[in-house]
Structure 1
């Protein structure tokens, strides 16, 4: 009998769902002897335990035959997947041919699982993954395009990728067309954000145009903008450090050399008045060195210390600074005026705020003109729930327009007559930046200067 020699499993079931015949292949597939299968309910061999006839659905009734996929259970309780070709007869019985497709089903499920995981990885990746055609049009792009460049996926599909690459970098991506299957790395490809901002990317691209499955250029773009910014900041920091070391060594040596020269001269003099003059000059050199060291200390403290949030009373602060400065040379000739309005609590870093105001007031005293009829320094402070506005105005020597963008640079001196270390306003600007504030200058040479400082109130932060 041909059915007995068939390689596929074949069985008949009567209208009650009981097996009336199972060929040797069916016996082997299910692991039963022929006598064990005879009169066994077909539902006992189905994992879902549902009525097989309802599983066949109405298609069998209408077409009298259908092919379905079903999970079966063997005698040893192991399972397998079978593709069933089923034919239903008028008396309610049916015949089925079963082919074991377990290996194919498992492979298909593994493939679907891999595809699902790959889709999750692509959709949640921080990098942009792109597939380009041979003319560089975008065939596929991952959702990271929205986060990195601000575009929706639908708005870029079909667009030429050059539209999103900075003009000078477009030639780089064309190199990938030269060889199939070779990975090209571009260390810094500049992409254009929707808002016009340049985004620095590290790019890996592989040409798979000859691959019938992919038929495209696969490009992976990793945002390195923060790294580039950090590298640039490091370069600037190293430059500033080199300049700092040079200037510090020079400015520390100058007063020491001056004192050594004065000591040598004093040793050669016999008159008391001349020696006293040299001693006074040495005292001034020591005083200048002390100021310079103090500025270095402030610079170091501002660079490394975290922002400390404490309550600040500006009336107390200004009184303290005024008392410290009133003994400076010529301070008694300058009228000091204050107008402080503080109706709400103000929180910030007290040491940095004191450094800012103290340095600005010290400069106002130091660079005043005494040929004016009424030399003055005016301090006006208004405090709100969001910020403190500090305005320091004087009718001193003023600052020329060409120096307005330079006075906050490290060691900058507007002229040879400038006193101090050249660090004061640099420290002021650095401290304001730490507090996320702003400083502006309005000045008329030989007439007046006004510094306006705004510092955020950290009360609610």
Structure 2
């Protein structure tokens, strides 16, 4: 090796100094320019992201309101209220509820919905009758945030409002979305001003005529406040309608100025945006706005158009976020000074190193470079140098050797620790995964692979949103942004996700969505955040909860049926008891007068009432016995059953002078033969009792058929018939349309109960004066849950 002479060291020193000077000049200029451009681009990206998030949030609010209007359009209280109001006595013919009851139920739904949506200001059901008078109206009263139902005497007519006529002209099943404007009440704009947008849908009656419409008012001030709070304090937030009128502006005089007689347009304030604003196909644009006026400096801007009305594709809301360029680059001045000081310091250090240490550092540094190169190639044995210099470079070389050995030792320990942690994670029953502060998946355990259906290679390195359905996918980036931004790193307790167990939904590889519990923890590693989530599938628990809710609903229905049953029984048992009580009083009076004829008459009447009470109790016991003794369903020959029934009812048939016309070869059915006998006895008894007396044609027809996967039987008479309003009531306990006829009103209730136990159905086809045909229908195959 040729010794390095002083001349070479001097040359190296001069070269180092020259390179240092050139590097400082070039690096400083490049750093200043690059940092300035990066700062502007970063701010453009930030406001573009903010504008995109705000646009999605506003669009989501409007779509949510449209879906709520569709939901309210189809709820039972709307149809029930229409039926009740169109009926002369104000009673719903299907439900027997009054118009007032339907209004109360509808008001309860309105209150629950407006309570769940804090940005809803008013929900109404408006009719077209009486000049468009409000039928039910629920308001949110601010600032108390009370939800109240407006009394009937304070309801208003809306026929004179523009939105009324517009809603009436919309197509059926179409959601109407109004313009965004200030809310009116009693013919004038409300003060303080309340910006609103309305969503409505027409409601038609059973004849297809317009009855009214459901209308929701969204309080835009709440939504605008939401959007503003999510933005940086230096960001200027503006919003316009399709015409360019300001809906939001820092200057309150320009906000909704078109409603207050002082219109102000976006193109008047930003004329350079004319091309972007008027371009129908352009949905979003970001860039720098160069203003001609000195009062309007150059600024970074992001404009998003929100096309929110499917019925009017050209209609949009324009959202514009801006930051003045001078505020962006203001923070650059201090950075420029710091970079300049650093460059000067580096230059001086380079000169000192080049002048005084170039010779002494050359040989030891070469040794160190060789050692580093060997270590990079995996040769740890050649790192040891036997003849190291005794100065600082020798100490550096020995320190480097010791560092390499420590690194190897730590690497082995880390590999062992990682293997141990991996074994623990893979043994865990819950899914465990970790992500960085940008939402990139760093690690998963085997339970995570099983739960989501992906392999670890398919998940690691991907965005965590891959495992999230909407709306959690859209919201997750905003959560991460809060934790990345120190100013937003302390969310409210109700909004935070760290250290809490939350119920959200997960998205599997096959596209299925499932409920899960998520617990998130956070650690800091080298100024970076690592989030670890523990996930538990709660699908089985949710299904169990759903079954429990269904059982509760079923029990509530059974309780209501029991209450109705007790009421009916007490009513029908009370009548003969009261009659006997009255006759007993008369009997004592007759005995005091020694009027034996009157006594005999009273005793006969008491005997008839006791017999009536005995028959009622007997029928009641018969009804209660239906289904109390279970039997296995078998294939029943209905022809044989009918022969037995005719024999049993022969006396009643002859007394009524009735004739039975029974079809031959009736289809068989899988059922309980005992219950089938009871079924036809009660159907034929009903036809003999109510269909033959005073009838010119006393023929009773019995037949059956197989149709639509069902075995159907009918019993038809030629009596007085039954009005449509009573087609369902006659199957209730103790229901009789004619008290002049014998019978307790239990027979058809028994028929209904037997069909319920067979998972079948019963109905009647009849009109007054045209007789009645009673139908029963059994499923072709026995159901697994049949209890007979």
1:213 corresponds, among 525, 531, 536, to: 531
TM-score by length of 2: 0.35
Equivalent-residue separation in structure 1 for 2:783 and 2:533 (angstroms): 56
Q: Secondary structure at the match of 2:656?
A: helix
Q: Secondary structure at the match of 2:759?
A: coil
Measured after TM superposition, the shift of residue 228 of structure 1 is: 2.1
Aligned to 1:408: 731
Q: Secondary structure at the match of 1:367?
A: helix
Contact 2:663/2:702 (<8 A) preserved: yes
1:335 aligns with 2:653: no
Aligned to 1:85: none
TM-score by length of 1: 0.56
Aligned to 2:623: 299
Aligned counterparts, 1:45-444, within 5 A:
99=412, 101-114=415-428, 116=445, 118-119=447-448, 122=451, 139-141=466-468, 178-181=495-498, 212-213=530-531, 222-223=542-543, 224-266=545-587, 268=590, 274-275=598-599, 277-328=601-652, 331-342=655-666, 346-368=669-691, 370-382=693-705, 388-414=711-737, 420-444=743-767
Segment drifting more, 210-219 vs 438-447? 210-219
Measured after TM superposition, the shift of residue 112 of structure 1 is: 3.1
| Residues 330 and 397 of structure 1: CA distance in aligned 2, closer, same or farther (over 3 Å) | farther
Equivalent-residue separation in structure 1 for 2:646 and 2:630 (angstroms): 27
Equivalent-residue separation in structure 1 for 2:748 and 2:474 (angstroms): 51
Higher RCO (CA-CA < 8 Å; seq separation 6+): 1
Aligned to 1:79: none
Contact 2:722/2:772 (<8 A) preserved: yes
Q: Secondary structure at the match of 1:341?
A: coil
Measured after TM superposition, the shift of residue 437 of structure 1 is: 1.4
Aligned to 2:334: none
| Residues 351 and 421 of structure 1: CA distance in aligned 2, closer, same or farther (over 3 Å) | same
| Residues 202 and 217 of structure 1: CA distance in aligned 2, closer, same or farther (over 3 Å) | closer
Q: Secondary structure at the match of 1:178?
A: coil
Contact 1:288/1:420 (<8 A) preserved: no
After superposition, the C-alpha distances for 1:19-75 in whole angstroms (9 at most, x for unaligned) are xxxxxxxxxxxxxxxxxxxxxxxxxxxxxxxxxxxxxxxxxxxx98599xxxxxxxx
Aligned to 1:51: none
Segment drifting more, 281-290 vs 237-246? 281-290
The structure with the greater share of residues assigned to helix is 2
| Residues 402 and 123 of structure 1: CA distance in aligned 2, closer, same or farther (over 3 Å) | same
| Residues 395 and 278 of structure 1: CA distance in aligned 2, closer, same or farther (over 3 Å) | farther
| Residues 205 and 460 of structure 1: CA distance in aligned 2, closer, same or farther (over 3 Å) | closer
Segment drifting more, 225-234 vs 440-449? 225-234
Contact 1:309/1:458 (<8 A) preserved: no
Contact 2:633/2:670 (<8 A) preserved: yes
Equivalent-residue separation in structure 2 for 1:225 and 1:379 (angstroms): 44
2:773 corresponds, among 432, 446, 450, to: 450
Measured after TM superposition, the shift of residue 349 of structure 1 is: 0.9
The structure with the greater share of residues assigned to strand is 1
After superposition, the C-alpha distances for 1:265-321 in whole angstroms (9 at most, x for unaligned) are 445266666555444434433343333223322332335443532343323322333
Contact 1:359/1:428 (<8 A) preserved: yes
| Residues 209 and 334 of structure 1: CA distance in aligned 2, closer, same or farther (over 3 Å) | farther
Q: Secondary structure at the match of 2:763?
A: strand
| Residues 272 and 361 of structure 1: CA distance in aligned 2, closer, same or farther (over 3 Å) | farther
| Residues 123 and 204 of structure 1: CA distance in aligned 2, closer, same or farther (over 3 Å) | closer
Measured after TM superposition, the shift of residue 441 of structure 1 is: 1.4
Q: Secondary structure at the match of 2:712?
A: strand
| Residues 295 and 111 of structure 1: CA distance in aligned 2, closer, same or farther (over 3 Å) | same
Q: What residue ranges of structure 1 are gaps of 5+ in the alignment?
A: 1-62, 68-95, 125-136, 142-152, 162-174, 190-200
Segment drifting more, 111-120 vs 176-185? 176-185
Equivalent-residue separation in structure 1 for 2:560 and 2:782 (angstroms): 36
Measured after TM superposition, the shift of residue 245 of structure 1 is: 2.3
Equivalent-residue separation in structure 2 for 1:419 and 1:348 (angstroms): 30
**Structure 1 stretches of 4+ moved >6 Å:** 201-211, 215-219
Aligned to 1:167: none
Q: CA RMSD in A?
A: 4.7
Contact 1:312/1:348 (<8 A) preserved: yes
Q: What residue ranges of structure 2 are gaps of 5+ in the alignment?
A: 1-375, 381-407, 433-444, 454-463, 477-491, 505-513, 524-528
Measured after TM superposition, the shift of residue 417 of structure 1 is: 5.0
Equivalent-residue separation in structure 2 for 1:64 and 1:217 (angstroms): 42
Q: Secondary structure at the match of 1:333?
A: coil
Aligned residues: 322
Contact 1:208/1:217 (<8 A) preserved: no
Contact 1:335/1:375 (<8 A) preserved: yes
Equivalent-residue separation in structure 2 for 1:329 and 1:341 (angstroms): 22
Contact 2:516/2:536 (<8 A) preserved: no
Q: Secondary structure at the match of 1:213?
A: strand
Equivalent-residue separation in structure 1 for 2:670 and 2:471 (angstroms): 48
Contact 2:689/2:743 (<8 A) preserved: no
Measured after TM superposition, the shift of residue 394 of structure 1 is: 0.4
Equivalent-residue separation in structure 1 for 2:678 and 2:696 (angstroms): 30
Measured after TM superposition, the shift of residue 246 of structure 1 is: 3.0
Q: Secondary structure at the match of 1:447?
A: coil
After superposition, the C-alpha distances for 1:237-258 in whole angstroms (9 at most, x for unaligned) are 1122223223323322322332
| Residues 447 and 276 of structure 1: CA distance in aligned 2, closer, same or farther (over 3 Å) | farther
| Residues 326 and 204 of structure 1: CA distance in aligned 2, closer, same or farther (over 3 Å) | farther
